[in-house]
Amino acid sequence: MKAFNRRLVIQPGYVATFALVMAATAGTAAPGGALKDAFKEHFPIGTAVNRNMVVGGAGFRRSAEQNEKDIALVKEQFNQITAENDMKWQLIHPREGADGYEFGPADAFVNFGSSNKMTVVGHTLVWHSQTPNWVFAGTNPAPVVTNAAPLAAANTNAPGTNRFGPGRFGGGFGRYNGPRASRDELLQRMRDHIHTVVGRYKGKVKSWDVVNEALADGNGTNVLRSSLWLEIIGPDFIAKAFQYAHEADPKAILRYNDYGLENAAKRKKLITLIKSLQAQTVPVHAIGSQAHLNVSITFETMDQTLAEIATLGLPIHITELDVNTAAGGQRGFGAEITNNTATTQGGLISDADRKLTDAYAGIFRAFLKHRDSVKMVTFWGANDANSWRGQGKPLLFDGNNQPKPAFDGVIAEAKKAAN
Ligand code: G3I
């Protein structure tokens, strides 16, 4: 496909037929070529893949036929994949104990990557979200929740003034409120989980999102968000997770992954956290910057974001890139699944395609400027139809796998960098 060529001298009717046939069998007939080739001198270009893309068949969003085309698009355009959901604790380890794992979909994901010679990324080991209740359950009574109570854990090695509290979703949204495991029990469960999952894919999964979204949002003084990991274990749950992952696969690249790092206050918290981990020689090897953005993003903001993160001296992986063009999503750079409905409401902004193109061009110009630090760029989905925020049409390919003007804008930046 990448060689699909406008210069073929054939009757126009044949060209149209040929293009249709090619578009039906492969992902797209993008005349711009493939993203992975355009950036091959700089960084891998990845995508999140959902279960159907690695096992085939129809999904809840796509028919079997559409899914075949999505798979072809993934193979054509990308050389790195991340499991969008199937390695999350809730899905890979739904029940307690050694028999409580469901490896089938994650195995299929890793095999898909290996057989297509793609770099495989694991997402994610420790997250406040999508973790089953049994992980946190035990016999210790849950504390009485009060936002004024200081953090009880003795080990406060990450600076900040974290407090007990329900957080934004406390008492609701899947947060377990029953009697709790002890610190030691939870650490043991975390260690077993990480050793089992990372150990199974040792040598096959190149990078892991070890800890996901542990930073607090907003301008407050809390560095870490309220979570059951923090409340039960204490702030060193992060260091422990990295330590266990490193034991399980000493060669894996271990990432700390978060969203909203384009926001100066959150970025400051990232730098505080990572410096604290580095001072303790915790094996954190890369920063994952999710980059769930909207069209208000500029080259200047991305430039400054990358320059500041780079001061940590670690590679930067862009892990979940998308750019929301829904009217409801133009205020912040968040990634909370609970906020997603609001951020995809209101229809598309005016002139969405042009603004999306400008935004992506600025973003990639910044990635290329910082290519000494930016070592991977992953889109959070291959096309708009599969995106978690598909109503915001945030990706480079539409629901028919056709390249959008933003695709051309990104390819143009690659060409400029090559000159
Ligand atoms: O698979 C079921 C399907 O059978 C069912 O019919 C359907 C009904 O709604 O739900 C499907 O499961 C959904 C799953 O995505 C697969 O699409 C879950 O309800 C839904 O909660 C889940 O959302 C995922 C979300 O994380 C929560 O885990 C999104 O796909 C995924 O894109 C999103 O990704 C996160 C990253 O992991 C971390 N950073 C933020 C990013 C966006 O929120």
Q: 351: left (phi > 0), else alpha (psi -120 to 50), else beta?
A: left
pLDDT band at 29 (very low <50, low <70, confident <90, very high): low
In three-state secondary structure terms, 44 is coil
Residue 84 CA to residue 81 CA, distance in Å, equals 9
209 CB near ligand 1 (under 6 Å): no
Average pLDDT of the residues of the chain? 88
CA of 61 from ligand 1 middle (Å) equals 12
Q: pLDDT at position 27, please?
A: 55
CA of 213 from ligand 1 middle (Å) equals 16
Q: pLDDT at position 338, please?
A: 87
Pocket test for ligand 1, best of 123, 125, 337 (most atoms within 8 A of CB): 337
CA of 374 from ligand 1 middle (Å) equals 27
CA atoms within 13 A on the CB side of 101: 16
Look at residues 286, 304, 289 and name the one whose alpha carbon lies nearest to residue 362. 304
Q: Which residue is closest in CA terms to ligand 1's atom 1? A: 60
Q: Which of 76, 185, 320, 336 is catalytic?
A: 320
Report the atom number in ligand 1 closest to the C-alpha of 336: 43
387 CB near ligand 1 (under 6 Å): no
Q: pLDDT at position 139, please?
A: 96
Whether residue 373 is predicted with pLDDT greater than 60 in this model: the reply is yes
- The answer to whether 300 is a known catalytic residue is no
117 CB near ligand 1 (under 6 Å): no
CA of 157 from ligand 1 middle (Å) equals 33
112 CB near ligand 1 (under 6 Å): no
Q: Which residue is closest in CA terms to ligand 1's atom 21? A: 337
130 CB near ligand 1 (under 6 Å): yes
* Distances in whole angstroms, Cα of residue 202 to Cα of each of 125, 126, 252: 14, 18, 8
148 CB near ligand 1 (under 6 Å): no
Pocket test for ligand 1, best of 387, 388, 395 (most atoms within 8 A of CB): 388
320 CB near ligand 1 (under 6 Å): yes
Q: pLDDT at position 198, please?
A: 99
CA of 372 from ligand 1 middle (Å) equals 33
Q: pLDDT at position 205, please?
A: 98
Q: pLDDT at position 143, please?
A: 83
Residue 124 CA to residue 307 CA, distance in Å, equals 26
Q: pLDDT at position 93, please?
A: 98
Strand pairing category for 137-140 and 180-180: antiparallel
What are the pLDDT digits (tens) for 151-168? Answer: 433 233 333 333 333 333
Q: Phi first, then psi: what are they for 83, rounded to 5°?
A: -75, 120
pLDDT band at 22 (very low <50, low <70, confident <90, very high): very low
Whether residue 31 is predicted with pLDDT greater than 50 in this model: the reply is yes
Whether residue 383 is predicted with pLDDT greater than 70 in this model: the reply is yes
Contact between 234 and 156 (Cβ < 8 Å)? yes
Amino acid at 277: L
The pTM assigned to this predicted structure is: 0.90
For 116-130, 181-195, 337-351, which range has the lowest pLDDT when averaged over its residues? 337-351
Q: pLDDT at position 225, please?
A: 96
Contact between 362 and 410 (Cβ < 8 Å)? no
Q: pLDDT at position 171, please?
A: 33
What CA dihedral angle connects 128, 133, 134 and 135, to 10 degrees?
Answer: 10
Q: Which of 213, 231, 336, 413 is catalytic?
A: 213
- The answer to whether 213 is a known catalytic residue is yes
CA of 387 from ligand 1 middle (Å) equals 10
pLDDT band at 289 (very low <50, low <70, confident <90, very high): very high
58 CB near ligand 1 (under 6 Å): no
Which tops the pLDDT comparison, 153 or 409?
A: 409
Helices (H) and strands (E) in the chain, counts: 14, 11
